[in-house]
Each structure stands twice: as C-alpha cells, then as structure tokens.
C-alpha cells in the first residue's frame, strides 16, 4: 500500500467496526471490491474506496449517527446532503478531517474535502418494465438537479439526451415556481418508496452511468481478504463486475486505461487549512446561485451542440474511413492468411486505425459504424477469439449488428463462438460450476476442437480434480500441445507451471510462472501464480506505476 491507501485502509477498518457494532450491512464496491476478489488488495493505482449500502441499512446507520453519542472516532465525520449545506451530492462520505482531498465539485461545501470513504446507496427498483423506464428518467432528472456543478447525463445517446433535456427544462421551470427543496423532495419520495422485500433489482443512486444489479447478487454477502483483513463483498460479486466492468472484469487494465481521480491530496495537512483560505472570503450563497445558473446554461449549450457534434463526428469518420480503406481494402486474403497462421498481433496492428476510430468515445456515443467488409471484420474477430479475448470480439460484433444489413454466415458462426466463450467464462469465474463447464465442453468439443477458451476450460477442470502424479503429467502433456498452437497464452503457462511444480520440476516451474505472469493480464491468474510460487505480478505492477508517476 502507498500512503494514501494506508490511510484509506484505516478508514474502512473504522467503518467496519461501526457497522459491526450496530449490525449494519454493507459491501465493498467498485474498484475496491474488484481488487479484493482478484488479488485481495488495493488496485495498484487506486486512490479511493467505495462501499455499497442499501437504503434500509443507510437509514439505520443515519439513525445511529443522529441519535447515538461517540459513534464516530475523533478526527472523522459523516457528510451527506441532509446534514451539510452546499454538499449537493447523494453520495454519503465518511471523511478524515485531518487530511486533504479536494475535488472541484466539492470545494464550495468545504466539509467533505478530506480523505474519505464513499457510500453508494442502493435503492430498490420497480419490477414492471414501464415503471423501470419511468424510474430511470426520474433518477436522471434527480441527479441533474442535485448537481449544480456539471452536466451529469452527458453520455446519453442523442435521442435519450433530447428526451432528458426536455424533461430537465420542465423540472427547472417547476423549481423556479415551487422551489428546489419541494421538487427534490418529491423526486426522492418517488424514487425511494419501493419495498426491498418486493423488488428484485437495486439501482445505484448516483453516477454518470446508472447501474442496476439483481438483489440476489448481494444476498448475505461473503467475506474476502482485503489487505489482510476480512471484509464483505456481494455474494455474487462476479455478476456485479460483469455489469459494471464488462466480461473482461478479471483482467488488469494497461496503465493508459487505469482510472485515477482528479483531486488535490495531502494526507498530512487538515483540509480546513486549505479551505479556510477561501471559504471565509466568498459569499457562498451567491456563488452557489451562480453555479446553478451556469449549470442550466451549460446544459442548454450542450443540448444545442449535440447535433453539431454528431455531424462533425460523422465527417471525421468519413474522412478517416477513406484512409483506413486505402490501407486494408483488397488485402482480405492476406489478413486471413495471417490469422490462420495465428499471427494475431500482426493482424491487430494492421487494423489499429480502424479499432481506434470505431472505439472513439464520440463515434460510439452517436452509434456510427465505421465501414469495413464483413470478411475483414470476421478476420479481426477471429484474431481476438484466438487470443482468448472474446469480449473484445463482442464489442465490434455488437457494433456491426447496428447496421440493417444481415450478418454473413461467417459472422453468425463467430457470434455463436462468442456466446459459447462467454458461457464458459460465466460458468468458470462467476458460478465456479464444474458440471456446467463440462456440459458445455461435451456439447461443443467436436465442433470447436481447437478453441483456446475450450482448452482453458478443460485445463481448469483437470487441475481442479488432479490428485496424483499421473494427473499432473497429463496436464503437462496437454499444455505442451496447447502452447504449440498458442505459445503466447499466460493462462495455459500458469497451469503447466503448477503441473511441473507438482511433478518436482521446481526450476522449470518457477521459470514458467515468471513467463506466465508477463503473458497475461488476468488478475486471477496473477493471484494463482503468487499463491503457488510467491511471484507477485501485482506488486511489480504497483512498482511500475509508482515509477511512472514519479517520472511525471
């Protein structure tokens, strides 16, 4: 842990003590839960901790805070909208007032500017489809009215945004006539009156992205080791990860994709030594009104700009698509030959410009499909599948499905393979169900005999049930056969390393473990390697990140 993480760990330990004492249920959330399940520790780059808490449990905790004495340790405070003026945020914060972590959107409140733990409140949702749609629309309005600092729902599609903005204007007029407090209270009553017992889905109260999780995913929870301490995660945390992070949740992102928070941090100086320098010099009521006025103006400007942005993005795609076409058109057979030779990285390099353009934020937001032949697309998707990255293949195939033209027979078959790979992944990682994995293998082994994900699944079952030297020799032999076809796969290497270790080939095993750790970014495999060999790839990743940050 770095110094920021050490302090956050202390804070979450204090929260666990409070919640345990008063029988309040919570779960680790977000990247904290992800790091806990994957590697039993912080993500190397993580600088915050999030917790899930249901509405019922938050009400219970709030009652304790407001009626009991000496609940909160010295130097700490709970901040929430109802007890802190200018803190227009539905997220509850447990704040260390002896430190500093100032975000622009919270600088005006001045009381939530220390290192903190955030509680993400989960509200029960209606079960009827039409009521769910209405609920989501009202939740978007609620979050938009709550935040005076920025446009919350700017990532909606153009059609959704236009509907949202029309409703937002309507509620702004109501705020002007009836008062903000009245309108906000009405929205809260509409959003919070559903019963936990009668619902089957929880909705996260706040966020640019609305996240909905099945109630059964949380259940009673389970304890997982986090930095040496047992803390609760959702009972089926893996199902939540798939919704929040996608099917690649078990993979550690590359440095460029790691999300850090833009805050001014100082863990040695109390935040009031910073906030006192400006809080007493401004009229916060006046500034707050100006923020709200500017928010409406910014939303109006953003609304008017959306159509122009879409046109600009379309032209950008049109121009860049010509350059991409000049590079890849007419080379279908060449790319297919590379793919059949399993030279996947060369194919991906050839399609780099297409991949970058199609995954551009604006291109995806406006639902623009970058033109590419179905044959070239099939080659690209086959390369992703060949690398064991069906989730990346799925992204591009889903984009292709947005076109009215029917899928080619080859793309239909690839769609079937993607579905199989996902089913295998869910059965292994989420359900940990050997019988389900074996049934999928039995059903599809003859049809897809050389599919990497099928081989990985076979090895998983074999390793789980290995209890003799002959079993591990069999695993070692199969790994050689697989690595002859897929010499780059770190997951298979890690399985072979374990087999060699069990066969007494310690030196070979350690060399293979180390090689495996650099040939996969699957965090669960990194943990398997650490548990079996002591080689910690996650610690090396942490050192790498710190080195890069020091260079900056």
Which of 341, 348, 442 minimizes the C-alpha distance to 389? 348
Look up residue 283 and give its two tokens.
């009229």
**167 and 40 part of one domain:** no
Check whether residue 220 and residue 314 sit in a common domain: no
> Rounded to 10 degrees, what is the CA torsion of 419, 423, 428, 429?
80
CATH number at residue 521: 1.25.40
Range of the domain at 503: 423-551
How far is 492 from 477, CA to CA, in rounded Å? 12
Task: Say whether both 274 and 219 belong to one domain.
Answer: yes
Provide the domain count of the chain. Answer: 4
Residue position matching structure tokens 């019922």: 56
Distances (CA, A) of 218 to 203, 214, 232, 240, 421: 12, 8, 10, 9, 25
Q: How far apart are CA 446 and CA 444, in angstroms?
A: 6
**Residue 86 burial (10 A CB sphere; 0-12, 13-18, 19+):** buried
Last residue of a domain, one of 273, 306, 339: 306
Q: What secondary structure letter does DSSP report for 252?
A: P
Look up residue 68 and give its DSSP letter.
Answer: S
With a CB cutoff of 8 Å and minimum separation 6, the contacts of 544 are: 255
133 and 104 belong to one structural domain = no
Q: In terms of DSSP bridges, do strands 115-124 and 49-54 run parallel, antiparallel, or are they unpaired? A: parallel
Please state the three-class secondary structure of 327-345 as a single string: HHCCCHHHHHHHHHCCCHH
End-to-end CA distance of the chain: 20
Give the closest residue to 112 by CA, choosing from 88, 136, 134, 133: 88
Same domain for 108 and 15: yes
386 and 446 together in one domain: no
512: burial class by Cβ within 10 Å (0-12, 13-18, 19+)? Answer: buried
pLDDT at 510: 97
Q: Given 358, 387, 419, which residue is the final one in a domain?
A: 419
Q: What is the DSSP-derived secondary structure letter of residue 19?
A: H
Tell me the sheet residues that pair with 76. Answer: 96
Instruction: Characterize the bridge pairing of strands 92-96 and 100-102.
Output: unpaired
**Ordered per-residue pLDDT tens for the chain, 552 residues:** 889 999 999 999 999 999 999 999 999 999 999 999 999 999 988 889 999 999 999 999 999 999 999 999 999 999 998 898 888 888 899 999 999 998 887 888 888 889 999 999 999 999 999 999 999 999 999 999 988 888 999 888 889 999 999 999 999 999 999 999 999 999 999 999 899 998 999 998 666 778 899 999 999 999 999 999 999 999 999 999 999 999 999 999 887 777 777 788 888 999 999 998 888 889 988 998 999 999 999 999 999 999 899 999 999 999 999 999 999 999 999 999 999 999 999 999 999 999 999 999 999 989 999 999 999 999 999 999 999 999 999 999 999 999 989 999 999 999 999 999 999 999 999 999 999 999 999 999 999 999 999 999 999 999 999 999 999 999 999 999 999 999 999 999 999 999 999 999 999 999 999 999 999 999 999 999 999 999 999 988 888 777 766 765
**Phi–psi pair at 193, nearest 5 degrees:** -95, 0
C-alpha distances out from residue 413 to 204, 392, 405, 447, Å: 36, 16, 16, 11
Query: What is the rounded (10 degree) CA torsion for 208, 425, 225, 36?
Result: -30
Residue pair 400/377 in contact by the 8 Å Cβ criterion: yes
Quickly list DSSP for 417-429. Answer: HHHHHHHHHIIII
Answer with the one of 419, 451, 471 that is the final residue of a domain: 419
CB 279 within 8 A of CB 110: yes
Q: What confidence score (pLDDT) does residue 204 get? A: 84
Same domain, 353 and 437: no
| Burial of 22 per CB tally in 10 Å (0-12, 13-18, 19+) | middle
Q: Clarify whether residues 411 and 331 are in a common domain.
A: yes
Structure tokens at 293: 């006025």
User: Both 274 and 140 in a single domain?
Assistant: no
In this structure, are 15 and 116 located in the same domain? yes
Q: Smallest Cα–Cα separation from 38: which of 351, 248, 272?
A: 248
Contact 234, 219 (CB under 8 A): yes
CATH number at residue 266: 3.30.460
3-state secondary structure at position 90 = coil
In 3-state terms, what secondary structure has residue 484? Answer: helix
Query: Beta strand pairing status for 212-214 and 201-204?
Result: antiparallel
Are 222 and 78 members of one domain?
A: yes
Q: Please give the pLDDT value at position 205.
A: 67
How many helices and strands in the chain, by DSSP H and E? 24, 11
| Residue 176 CA, distance from chain mean position | 37
Judgement on whether residues 270 and 210 belong to the same structural domain of the protein? yes
Report d(CA 105, CA 102) in Å as an integer. 8
Q: Which residues pair with 193 in a beta bridge?
A: none
Q: At 361, list the tokens.
A: 């934020």
Assign 3-state DSSP to the chain and report helix, strand, coil percentages, each to 5: 60, 10, 30
């Amino acid at each position: 842990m770095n110094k920021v993480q050490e302090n956050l760990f202390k804070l979450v330990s204090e929260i666990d003590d409070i919640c345990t004492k008063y029988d309040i249920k919570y779960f680790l959330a977000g990247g904290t839960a992800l790091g806990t399940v994957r590697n039993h520790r912080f993500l190397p780059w993580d600088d915050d901790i999030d917790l899930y808490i249901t509405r019922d449990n938050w009400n219970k905790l709030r009652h304790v805070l407001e009626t009991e004495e000496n609940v909160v340790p010295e130097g700490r405070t709970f901040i929430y909208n109802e007890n802190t003026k200018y803190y227009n945020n539905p997220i509850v914060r447990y704040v260390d007032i002896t430190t500093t972590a100032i975000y622009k959107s919270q600088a005006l409140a001045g009381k939530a500017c220390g290192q903190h733990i955030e509680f993400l409140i989960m509200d029960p949702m209606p079960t009827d489809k039409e009521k769910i749609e209405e609920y989501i629309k009202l939740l978007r309005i609620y979050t938009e009215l709550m935040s005076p600092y920025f446009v919350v729902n700017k990532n909606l599609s153009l059609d959704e945004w236009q509907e949202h903005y029309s409703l937002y204007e309507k509620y702004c007029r109501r705020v002007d006539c009836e008062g903000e407090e009245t309108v906000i209270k009405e929205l809260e009553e509409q959003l919070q009156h559903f019963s936990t017992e009668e619902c089957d889905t929880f909705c996260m109260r706040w966020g640019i992205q609305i996240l909905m999780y099945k109630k059964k995913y949380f259940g009673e929870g389970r304890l997982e080791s986090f930095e040496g301490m047992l803390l609760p995660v959702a009972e089926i945390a893996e199902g939540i990860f798939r919704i929040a992070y996608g099917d690649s949740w078990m993979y550690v992102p590359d440095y460029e994709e790691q999300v850090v928070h833009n805050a001014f941090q100082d863990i040695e100086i109390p935040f009031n030594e910073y906030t006192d320098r400006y809080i007493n010099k401004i009229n916060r009521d006046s500034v707050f009104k100006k923020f709200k006025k500017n928010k409406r103006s910014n939303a109006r400007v953003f609304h008017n700009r959306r159509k122009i942005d879409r046109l600009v993005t379309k032209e950008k795609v049109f121009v860049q698509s010509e350059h991409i076409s000049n590079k890849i058109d007419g080379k279908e057979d060449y790319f297919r030959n590379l793919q059949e030779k399993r030279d996947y990285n060369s194919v991906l390099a050839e399609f780099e410009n297409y991949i970058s353009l199609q995954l551009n934020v604006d291109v995806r937001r406006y639902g623009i499909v970058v033109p590419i032949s179905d044959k070239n697309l099939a080659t690209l998707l086959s390369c992703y599948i060949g690398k064991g990255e069906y989730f990346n293949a799925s992204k591009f195939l889903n984009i292709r499905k947005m076109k009215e033209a029917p899928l080619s027979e080859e793309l239909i078959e690839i769609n079937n393979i993607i579905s199989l790979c996902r089913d295998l992944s869910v059965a292994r990682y989420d359900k940990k169900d050997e019988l389900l994995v074996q049934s999928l293998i039995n059903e599809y082994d003859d049809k897809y005999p050389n599919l990497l994900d099928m081989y990985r699944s076979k090895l998983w079952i074999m390793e789980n049930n290995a209890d003799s030297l002959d079993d591990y020799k069999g695993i070692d032999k199969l790994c050689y056969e697989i690595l002859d076809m897929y010499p780059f796969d770190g997951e298979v290497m890690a399985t072979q390393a374990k087999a060699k270790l069990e066969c007494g080939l310690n030196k070979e095993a350690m060399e293979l473990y180390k090689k495996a750790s650099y040939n996969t970014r699957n965090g669960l495999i990194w943990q398997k390697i650490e548990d079996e060999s002591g080689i910690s790839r996650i610690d090396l990743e942490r050192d790498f990140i710190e080195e890069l940050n020091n260079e900056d």
